Amino acid sequence: MNQRPKDWFRIAFFVLTPLIGIVGTAAYAWTHGVRWWQPTLFLVTYALVGVSVTAGYHRLFAHRSYECNPIIQAFYLFFGAMALQNSILNWASDHRTHHRHVDHDWDPYNIQRGGWWAHILWIFYKNPSNRTFDDIPDLQKNPLVRLQDRFATSIGIVGGLGLPTLVGWAFGDPLGGLLWGGFLRVVVIHHTTFFVNSIAHLYGSRPYTEANSARDNAWVALVTNGEGYHNFHHRFPTDFRNGLRWYQWDPSKWWIRGLETVGLARRLRRTPALVIERSRLQTAMERAKRLPEPSPVREAIRVHLDASHQALERAAANWAEFQERRRHDLSEYREHLAVARRQWRQALRMLASQPEEA
């Protein structure tokens, strides 16, 4: 990938926007003060563009984890273009390639090449001039997607920078609007999105799979509308959720559920609980195998994991029986699933005291 020619326009853009957005906004605030509407404009535009990237670009278009009304699609495509992260065709193609080849040479933002490469340096090279989008035929069939691909840059500049300037003009301060709602918001959206490619592949836990570098990182989730639960996402990429538990910060998941409630989204894809628990159990068992042998701790962990495995198999058998008989009583299934969860949680508590291999 680094054999491609450098894109000096992109390099200049990603060097200058932080200077204008962070240094320029700070200097302007120091000399002109901060008015209430300026941080409000930043937060509103950040929310609109952010959810369009996470719930739209990522979970809807790149992974097809749900379906939604064309009005919502148009909303995502317009505000997503304001993120200035390329058109959805380019974005989704890169992202699907990342999932197919994660941690290998064909991965566009391969973390094995270093954190800075995964974070931003990979963007500094030109796309092939003969690039096609044969890997995303579903998106090519979408007329809204094709339209956005033609005008993404114009929307990003005119909408992403022009609209905040107009808002600032309405308050008698167009430059303040441009800085707060334009450049500062662009920089924050850029680098919080890039955190998923870098930090969430370097730091955090791997409860669902150790087959790749993706990790769950609650701090990254906090600034990316829930995208930081990246180990779960790489294990179950078509699930509309990233934060599985109710207490995990995942506004994109809540937004999608809200759309479903009002009839604007449908066919939300959820990974069955049994599949998730089996994945967690398998990951814990693989970690336990790496403990020194003989080891009393390893044996105690093995007992709990074996009990969890047996309970999960009983839960699976109950579920298969339910599916066959079409009955409505899930009490046995839930009981065995609860036993399995208790057993592997006990094992994980013991594993937590053991150092994790890189």
The pLDDT, as a whole number, for residue 151 is 96
Domain ranges in the chain? 8-266, 273-352
Percent of the chain with pLDDT over 90: 72
Element (H, E) at 326: none
Mean local confidence (pLDDT), 17-22:
97
Residue 289 has pLDDT above 80, yes or no: no
- What φ, ψ does residue 229 adopt, rounded to 5°? -80, 70
pLDDT band at 299 (very low <50, low <70, confident <90, very high): low
- What φ, ψ does residue 205 adopt, rounded to 5°? -105, 160
pLDDT band at 291 (very low <50, low <70, confident <90, very high): low
Nearest to 225 by CA among 344, 12, 30, 57: 57
Buried b (16+ CB within 10 A) or exposed e, 148-181: bbeebeebbeebbbebbbebbeeeebeebbbbbb
pLDDT band at 195 (very low <50, low <70, confident <90, very high): very high
Query: Are the CB atoms for 224 and 54 separated by under 8 Å?
Result: yes
Residue 329 has pLDDT above 60, yes or no: no
* Residues near 135 by beta carbon (within 8 Å), at least 6 away in sequence: 93, 96, 97
pLDDT band at 61 (very low <50, low <70, confident <90, very high): very high
Q: What is the pLDDT of residues 141-154, one digit of tens each?
A: 999 999 999 999 99
CA dihedral of 151, 153, 157, 158, whole degrees rounded to 10: -10
Sign of CA dihedral 32, 34, 37, 40: positive
Low-confidence winner among 18-22, 312-316, 347-351 (lowest mean pLDDT): 312-316
Nearest to 101 by CA among 212, 198, 175, 227: 212
pLDDT band at 293 (very low <50, low <70, confident <90, very high): low
Radius of gyration of the chain (CA): 23
Q: Which single residue is written with the structure tokens 């094709």?
A: 146
Query: Are the CB atoms for 224 and 46 separated by under 8 Å?
Result: no
Residue 321 has pLDDT above 70, yes or no: no
Instruction: Return d(Cα 300, Cα 161) in angstroms, integer.
Output: 60
The pLDDT, as a whole number, for residue 356 is 59
Q: Rounded to 5 degrees, what angle do the CA atoms 59, 38, 252 make?
A: 15
Residue 346, Cβ neighbours under 10 Å: how many? 17
pLDDT band at 287 (very low <50, low <70, confident <90, very high): confident
Mean local confidence (pLDDT), 280-299:
72
Residue 10 has pLDDT above 80, yes or no: yes
Instruction: Return d(Cα 2, Cα 249) in angstroms, integer.
Output: 36
Instruction: Return d(Cα 113, Cα 107) in angstroms, integer.
Output: 10
Nearest to 115 by CA among 220, 237, 209: 220
Percent of the chain with pLDDT over 70: 85
Instruction: Return d(Cα 152, Cα 57) in angstroms, integer.
Output: 13
CA 137 distance to own-chain centroid = 22
Residue 324 has pLDDT above 70, yes or no: no
DSSP 355: P
- What φ, ψ does residue 119 adopt, rounded to 5°? -75, -50
Residue 247 has pLDDT above 90, yes or no: yes
Residue 2 has pLDDT above 70, yes or no: no
CA within 13 Å, CB half, 277: 24
pLDDT band at 81 (very low <50, low <70, confident <90, very high): very high
Task: Let me know if 87 is exposed, middle or buried by CB neighbors in 10 A (0-12, 13-18, 19+).
Answer: buried
- Length of the chain equals 358
Q: Which amino acid is at 251?
A: P
Average pLDDT, the chain: 89
Query: Are the CB atoms for 114 and 103 separated by under 8 Å?
Result: no
Q: Which single residue is written with the structure tokens 């800085």?
A: 179
**What is the pTM for the complete model shown?**
0.84
